[in-house]
């Protein structure tokens, strides 16, 4: 077939497709028979409109099974990336697979990855989660698990096997290594994990001591189906019962340990004939480890540990020196090496914190101690507390009033209902002139006491310090490893404040926050800060609250202060402050996202971080799908946090998935969760459906949610959108007055800006300028400046707009919205004012990746969405490029969930009409003008843009 | 400013270089995209069991965000990147189909998700391979139309994204798609017999 022939066929095809039946018949009659046959065969299959409509990937998921099975997918070389891990070099090859040195690019941390040749079973991955809870200086930590890879701590050094190639080790070294290996066993066995494959090849000698690798790739348990033949142990080091495939337990590891000990002492593997070992004490230990009958061996690693310690006094000191942990020495002195079973909590358990009983007569301790304890416990990535919001929800279902006192009994019921493991209760009492703090953890299912701690304090001022100490000890007792505690323990006085009064005010503020009562929380935060100006976290939380209420400037101020104090707070709080700094001060959303992801990594059970991703970052960068995903994660982690439901709703709304949005809010309602934001979302859902009754319902509910000013401002936009400016202005006046009364100048300014922008869009230039200046007089936040500048630019005050643009550029060099949306828009408007539409288009190119993002004005004031698109459309129009202009305006109409009630949603019809006129498509132009005039049928007749539209339409 | 890791910086440079006319950069870029798509698809598949459907368009977007520093390339780059990604998606699927087909012939037991045991039919791989052949033939006569199919069917790209990638108007895209479908449908009906071959 020649190219010309092909072209002919194609031309004919399209002509035939776009013709009516009669025209098509006539067309075919005129063509030569061969061509006609071609065409007919092409039309034959239709209508099969399903063909190719589903993208390939959705049709053939089983094909991709190949990917899972394909070892070459993970045949890695240096520089390759496995998700966030960048492979650096190969470290070695093992029986199961290869080990590489890699970098976790998110944290910049060097790690080791073992990539196995075969995939792990699904069961294994689950077990791996338990294993990753092992956190001990002598255990190689497991960071992450994938379908066929393990991400572990990188240990530098050589294996014991390598060392032993050079001969047996001197006795002091043997004792040193042995005690560290046994310590690892004690830790793991205490958590119910056996190693099952202990051997010199699995023991690394590093700079900071011995590390046992591949720990717990099997597990004590009755479920033997988890293990595949890979994990049955190395034959030479197998215990007799392992060879017979009998169940293995701690004593199996002890047998293997005996072999290792023997080899360290003699330099040779234990064979049927064993060499004689001196000293005698060691020989006894080895012999008993290697008993064929497990019942005759040392029965526990702890027992073994004691025996080893007894061999030489030197060993304990050497152990402590080698591990170099002062805390460990201290713990040893206070009996850390306990021989009874430890509390047995794992990283999966959650705890309910009961109210502290205040047996003193000093009200300063009410609530404060619980708050302080919560702060200390929340630092731990190991422990998880049931959130206060969740507790309130459960109380609801228990038909108890909110704010019910969390007594021992109530807490126990909450514990059971939430499937938690333990209740933590405490009290403070006065004893003479001392204060006594007491804390107890109880398993709420069987009432067993897990741990009990007590502390005394001479002075009231020292109570918080004592509380810190008691919290730390409790964390140890509950099973958190010392490394984890060392990494995550900032004393309470630093993490919060050393002043009880300030902490009390802060606690009251948090209570108000949890009741979603911003106006009540703000003064209490301020009180806390007044008492202790260096109370970093109070500044931060106040900043967060203010920002959410629309007071972005004030919020940013507080966050700046917190940022200056960020180095003294706990790790988790520091991340919080960093995130707020990126969001509120620099506006750099990419950085904020990095911070949040790293946070979610370190504290994987924290619902907060994914929730925040869903709240603003995703919105502000237009990543709505991601916002939904992050919300779902947060919901799974804590189903009683209200914000994630709102997150799913607004992100779905932005994607025009109205049903899903409504569904998410229904899910929240089913759990009796309600926050003012939901009201606004429901209002807009009703608006987009044209459901006036629904909108009225939400308006009626506004007073009880303290959302009257919000609702009035949204009503104003809806009215403006259909050209009813007189009514709209009244609404705005109302909204602005309410906001000012409540002391929210910035919010009032945003509303004023919305009014200014609408006036400008409609050609009421004098009003637009007046409103813009009024707004700037009220506040000078980022969004206010932008919106005011926008209005001024449209209204013809190019100079004023440029000044504001320059100010924005100076103040917010890193701000995503400013750099990629606001400034391009303002520059484009300036270019348009100077009759340079091509220039304008170019200025807006930068904005394209963020065209569909939700800028600050749309987040707070629900106006200004897709403005970069709208202005680009105007630029194309001014340049005479009708078709391209039409595309842009069509986009406005295609994203109603982002544009909402912004008047450009209606004006887009008019602009579309104009675009069609330019491109010569009169038919479509007429339709578009009609659409606009229909929307504006009740508009104020004196609006400039309406008069223009009518005149233009008449000419068509 | 934010810290971009070295790999992203490198890939972003490759993208820029290629757009600037360096054909050699394309090969390297393609390699990276291919590798990343596979790794990402694998990860997504792991989540498949939890009920997330694997969507080509989501994959492509993800890979873009991961590999490219979006703030330092022009907006046109994205469209072209997506075009590469769609092409790689096609290659991945076709490679997988071939491998699966050959495994089947060699009698090697295929591992399947337990949920999908019912779908143990050879249809999927044959269809993809047949389509791939037909598309290759078609592209010799109608390269632009074939590209549209590749972007839309294999890459899951939207009309707007295709527009950005190929710099053609939506009307052209729709016409090309329509024509290509008719043509390919006819081809597949001829080569594999009706219905079965067309389960795409």
**What string of DSSP letters covers A413-467?**
HHHHHTT--EEEEEEEEEETTEEEEEEEEEETTT--EEEEEEEEESSGGGHHHHH
Chain A residues near residue B71 by CB distance under 8 angstroms: 590, 820
Scanning every residue of chain A, which has its alpha carbon at the shortest distance from the alpha carbon of B53? A58
User: What class is the A158-326 domain?
Assistant: mainly alpha
Residues 6+ apart with CB under 8 A from A516: A642, A675, A676
Sheet holding A449-457, edge to edge: A384-385, A350-358, A422-431, A434-443, A449-457
Mean pLDDT confidence for A237-247: 70
Yes or no: say if B115 and B49 are a contact pair by the CB < 8 Å rule. yes
For the stretch B138-157, pLDDT in tens is 998 899 999 999 998 888 88
ipTM: 0.79
Which residues of chain B neighbour A69 with C-beta distances below 8 Å? Answer: 111
Contact (CB<8Å) A588/B57: no
| Domain assignments of chain A as residue spans, ordered by start | 3-44, 84-154, 158-326, 350-489, 707-955
Predicted confidence at residue A44, as pLDDT, reads 76
Q: Which of A17, A45, A849 sits opposite B70 (nearest CB)?
A: A849
Q: Which residues pair with A441 in a beta bridge?
A: A424, A451
Of A60-64, A145-149, A355-359, A847-851, the least confident: A60-64
Task: Give me the pLDDT at residue A18, please.
Answer: 84
Global pTM reads 0.51
Q: Quick check: A594 and B58 CB within 8 A?
A: no
**pLDDT tier at A45 (50, 70, 90 boundaries)?**
low
Q: Does domain A707-955 have CATH number 1.25.40.10?
A: yes
Q: Which of 3.20.20.70, 3.10.129.10, 3.40.1370.10, 3.30.200.20 is the CATH number of A84-154? A: 3.30.200.20
Residues of A marked as catalytic: 197
Maximum pairwise Cα distance, chain B: 59
Contacts of A79 in chain B (CB under 8 A): 7
CATH classification (class only), A350-489 = alpha beta
Out of B35, B119, B142, closest to residue A62 by CB: B119
Q: Which of A96-100, A242-246, A613-617 has maximum average pLDDT?
A: A613-617
DSSP-derived secondary structure letter, A622: T
Greater confidence, A866 or B194?
A: A866
The pLDDT value recorded for residue A935 is: 93
Nearest-by-Cβ selection for B42 from A60, A67, A883: A67
Is pLDDT at A797 greater than 90 in this prediction?
A: yes
Binned at pLDDT 50, 70 and 90, residue A335 comes out as: very low
Residue B194 has pLDDT above 60, yes or no: no
Measured distance CA(B184)–CA(B162) in Å, rounded: 19
Among A339-348, A351-360, A469-478, where is mean pLDDT lowest? A339-348
Least confident of A480-494, A696-710, A919-933, B171-185: A480-494
Banded pLDDT at B119 (limits 50, 70, 90): very low
How far apart (Å, rounded) are the C-alpha atoms in residues A808 and A785? 7
Which of helix, strand or coil describes residue A158? strand
Q: Are A147 and A115 in contact (CB under 8 A)?
A: no
CB contact under 8 A, A79 and B7: yes
Tell me if residue A665 falls in helix, strand or coil. Answer: helix
Rounded to an integer, what distance in angstroms lies between the CA atom of residue B178 and that of residue A941?
Answer: 46
Check pLDDT > 90 for residue A695.
yes
Whole-number pLDDT of residue A312: 57
Element (H, E) at A99: strand A97-104
Q: What is the pLDDT of residue A620?
A: 87
More confident residue, A124 or A530: A530
Of the ranges A163-177, B57-71, B75-89, which one carries the lowest mean pLDDT score?
Answer: B57-71
pLDDT in tens, A264-314: 998 888 877 778 877 788 888 999 999 888 888 888 888 888 888 877 544
pLDDT (0 to 100) of residue B10: 81
Stated length of chain B: 200
Q: What pLDDT score was predicted for residue A232?
A: 45
Q: Do B54 and A60 touch (CB under 8 A)?
A: no
Tell me which DSSP letter residue A322 carries. H
| A14 CA: distance to closest CA in chain B (Å) | 7
pLDDT of residue A894: 93
Predicted local distance difference test score (pLDDT) of residue A192: 78
pLDDT score of A73? 47
Average pLDDT over residues A555-570: 89
Cα–Cα distance for residue pair A124/A737, rounded to 1 Å? 62
Q: For residue A32, what pLDDT is reported?
A: 84
Per-residue model confidence as pLDDT tens digits over A377-396? 888 877 888 888 788 878 87
pLDDT of A180 higher than 70: yes
Average pLDDT over residues A668-683: 87
Confidence of residue A338 (pLDDT cuts 50, 70, 90): very low
Instruction: Work out the percent of chain A whose per-residue pLDDT is above 70.
Output: 87
Mean pLDDT of A580-598: 86
What average pLDDT does the segment A697-718 reach? 86
Nearest by CB to A52, which of B45, B160, B200? B200
CB count within 10 Å of CB A534 equals: 16
Mean pLDDT of B22-42: 78
The backbone torsions φ and ψ at residue A735, rounded to the nearest 5 degrees and listed phi first, read -60, -45
Long-range pairs for A170-174: beta carbons < 8 A, 24 or more residues apart: A171/A265, A171/A279, A171/A282, A172/A312, A172/A314, A172/A315, A172/A318, A173/A264, A174/A261, A174/A264, A174/A265, A174/A282
Q: Could A66 and B154 be called an inter-chain contact, meaning their C-beta atoms sit closer than 8 Å?
A: no
H/E stretch holding A100 reads: strand A97-104
Is B41–A59 a contact, with Cβ atoms under 8 angstroms apart? no
Q: Is the pLDDT at A347 greater than 90, yes or no?
A: no
User: Which chain A residues are Cβ-neighbours of B74 within 8 angstroms?
Assistant: 845
Mean pLDDT (whole number) for A164-184: 88
Statement: residue A198 has pLDDT above 80: yes
pLDDT at position A23, please? 83
User: In this structure, is the dihedral angle defined by the CA atoms of residues A532, A533, A537 and A541, taken in order, positive or negative?
Assistant: positive
Across the interface, do A17 and B156 touch by the CB < 8 Å criterion? no
What digits encode the pLDDT tens for the residues A201-218? 889 888 778 889 877 564
Nearest chain A residue (CA) to B31: A80
């Amino acid at each position: 077939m020649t190219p010309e022939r092909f072209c002919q066929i194609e031309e004919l095809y399209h002509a035939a497709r776009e013709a009516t039946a009669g025209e098509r018949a006539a067309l075919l009659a005129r063509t030569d028979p061969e061509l006609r046959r071609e065409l007919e065969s092409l039309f034959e299959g239709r209508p099969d409109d399903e063909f190719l409509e589903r993208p390939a990937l959705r049709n053939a998921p089983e094909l991709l099974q190949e990917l899972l099975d394909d070892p070459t997918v993970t045949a890695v070389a240096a520089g390759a990336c496995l998700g966030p891990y960048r492979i650096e070099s190969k470290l070695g090859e093992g029986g199961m697979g290869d080990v590489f040195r890699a970098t976790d690019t998110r944290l910049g941390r060097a790690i080791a990855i073992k990539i196995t040749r075969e995939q792990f079973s699904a069961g294994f991955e689950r077990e791996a989660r338990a294993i990753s809870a092992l956190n001990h200086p002598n255990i190689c930590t497991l960071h992450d698990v994938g379908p066929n890879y393990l991400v572990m701590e990188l240990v530098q050094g050589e294996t014991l096997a390598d060392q032993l190639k050079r001969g047996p080790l001197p006795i002091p070294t043997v004792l040193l290594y042995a005690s560290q290996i046994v310590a690892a066993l004690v830790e793991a066995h205490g958590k119910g994990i056996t190693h099952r494959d202990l051997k010199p090849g699995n023991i690394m000698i590093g700079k900071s001591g011995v590390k046992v690798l591949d720990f717990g790739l099997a597990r004590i348990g009755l479920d033997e189906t988890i293990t595949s033949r890979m994990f049955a142990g190395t034959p030479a080091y197998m215990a007799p019962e392992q060879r017979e495939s009998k169940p293995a337990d701690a004593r199996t590891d002890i047998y293997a340990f005996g072999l290792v000990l023997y080899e360290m002492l003699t330099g040779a593997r234990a064979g049927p004939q064993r060499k004689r070992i001196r000293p005698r004490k060691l020989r006894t230990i080895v012999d008993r480890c290697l008993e064929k009958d497990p019942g005759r061996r040392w029965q526990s690693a702890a027992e073994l540990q004691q025996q080893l310690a007894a061999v030489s006094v030197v060993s304990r000191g050497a152990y402590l020196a080698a591990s170099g942990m002062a805390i460990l020495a201290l713990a040893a002195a206070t009996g850390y090496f306990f021989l009874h079973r430890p509390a047995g909590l794992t990283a999966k358990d959650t705890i309910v914190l009961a109210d502290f009983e205040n047996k003193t007569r000093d009200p300063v301790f009410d609530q404060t101690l619980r708050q302080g304890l919560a702060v200390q416990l929340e630092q731990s990535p190991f422990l998880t507390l049931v959130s206060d919001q969740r507790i309130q929800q459960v109380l609801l279902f228990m038909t108890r009033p909110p704010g019910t006192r969390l007594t021992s009994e109530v807490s126990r019921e909450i514990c059971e209902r939430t499937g938690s493991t333990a209740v933590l209760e405490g009290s403070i009492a006065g004893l003479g002139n001392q204060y006594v703090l007491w804390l107890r953890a109880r398993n709420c299912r069987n009432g067993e006491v897990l741990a009990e701690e007590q502390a005394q304090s001479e002075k009231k001022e020292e109570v918080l310090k004592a509380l810190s100490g008691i919290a730390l000890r409790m964390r140890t007792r509950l099973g958190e490893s010392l490394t984890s505690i060392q990494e995550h323990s900032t004393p309470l006085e630093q993490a919060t404040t050393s002043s009880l009064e300030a902490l009390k005010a802060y606690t009251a503020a948090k209570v108000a926050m949890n009741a979603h009562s911003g106006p009540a929380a703000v003064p209490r935060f301020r009180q806390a800060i007044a008492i202790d100006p260096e109370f970093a976290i109070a500044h931060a939380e106040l900043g967060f609250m203010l920002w959410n209420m629309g007071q972005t400037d004030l919020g940013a101020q507080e966050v700046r202060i917190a940022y200056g104090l960020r180095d003294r707070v706990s790790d988790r709080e520091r991340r919080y402050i960093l995130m707020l700094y990126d969001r509120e001060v620099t506006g750099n959303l990419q950085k904020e996202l990095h911070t949040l992801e790293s946070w979610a990594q370190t504290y994987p059970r924290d619902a907060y971080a994914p929730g925040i991703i869903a709240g603003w970052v995703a919105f502000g960068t237009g990543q709505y799908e991601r916002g939904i995903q992050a919300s779902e994660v947060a919901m799974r982690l804590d189903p009683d946090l209200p914000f994630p439901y709102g997150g799913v709703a607004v992100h779905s709304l932005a994607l025009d998935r109205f049903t899903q949005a409504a569904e998410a809010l229904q899910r929240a309602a089913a759990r009796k969760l309600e926050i003012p934001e939901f009201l606004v979302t429901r209002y807009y859902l009703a608006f987009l459906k044209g459901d006036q009754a629904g909108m009225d319902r939400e308006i009626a509910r506004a007073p009880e949610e303290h959302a009257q000013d919000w609702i009035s401002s949204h009503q104003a936009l809806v009215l403006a959108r259909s050209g009813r400016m007189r009514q709209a202005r009244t609404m705005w006046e109302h909204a602005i007055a309410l906001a000012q009364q409540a002391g929210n100048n910035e919010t009032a300014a945003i509303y004023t800006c919305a009014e200014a922008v609408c006036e400008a869009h409609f050609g009421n230039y004098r009003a637009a300028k007046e409103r813009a200046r009024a707004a700037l007089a009220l506040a000078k936040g980022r969004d206010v400046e932008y919106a005011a500048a926008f209005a001024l630019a449209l209204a013809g005050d190019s100079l004023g707009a440029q000044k504001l643009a320059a100010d924005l550029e100076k103040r917010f060099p890193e701000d995503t919205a400013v750099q990629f949306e606001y400034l391009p828009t303002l520059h484009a408007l300036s270019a348009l004012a100077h009759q340079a539409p091509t220039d304008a288009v170019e200025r807006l190119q930068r904005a394209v990746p963020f065209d569909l993002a939700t800028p600050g004005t749309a987040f707070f004031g629900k106006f200004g969405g897709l403005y970069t698109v709208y202005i680009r459309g105007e630029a194309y129009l001014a340049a005479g490029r009708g078709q391209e202009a039409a595309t842009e305006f069509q986009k406005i109409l295609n994203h109603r969930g982002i544009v909402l009630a912004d008047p450009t949603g209606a004006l887009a019809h008019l602009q579309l009409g104009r675009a069609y006129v330019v491109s010569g498509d009169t038919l479509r132009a007429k339709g578009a003008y009609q659409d606009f005039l229909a929307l504006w049928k009740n508009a104020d007749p004196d609006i400039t843009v309406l008069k223009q539209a009518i005149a233009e339409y008449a000419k068509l | 400013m934010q810290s971009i890791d070295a790999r992203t910086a490198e890939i972003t440079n490759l993208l820029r270089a290629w757009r600037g006319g360096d054909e050699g950069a394309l090969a390297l870029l393609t390699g990276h995209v291919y590798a990343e798509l596979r790794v990402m698809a694998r990860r997504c598949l792991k989540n498949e069991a939890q009920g997330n459907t694997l969507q080509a368009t989501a994959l492509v977007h993800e890979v873009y965000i991961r590999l490219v520093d979006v703030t330092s390339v022009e907006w046109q780059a994205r469209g072209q990147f997506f075009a590469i990604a769609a092409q790689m998606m096609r290659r991945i699927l076709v490679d997988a189909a071939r491998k699966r087909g050959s495994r089947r012939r060699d009698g090697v037991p295929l591992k399947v998700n337990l949920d999908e045991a019912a779908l143990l039919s050879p249809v999927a791989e044959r269809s993809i391979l047949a389509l791939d052949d037909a598309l290759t033939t078609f592209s010799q006569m109608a390269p632009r139309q074939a590209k549209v199919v590749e972007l839309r069917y294999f890459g899951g790209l939207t009309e707007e994204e295709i527009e950005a990638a190929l710099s053609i108007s939506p009307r052209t895209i729709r016409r090309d798609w329509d024509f290509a479908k008719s043509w390919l449908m006819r081809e597949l009906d001829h080569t594999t017999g009706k219905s079965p071959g067309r389960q795409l």
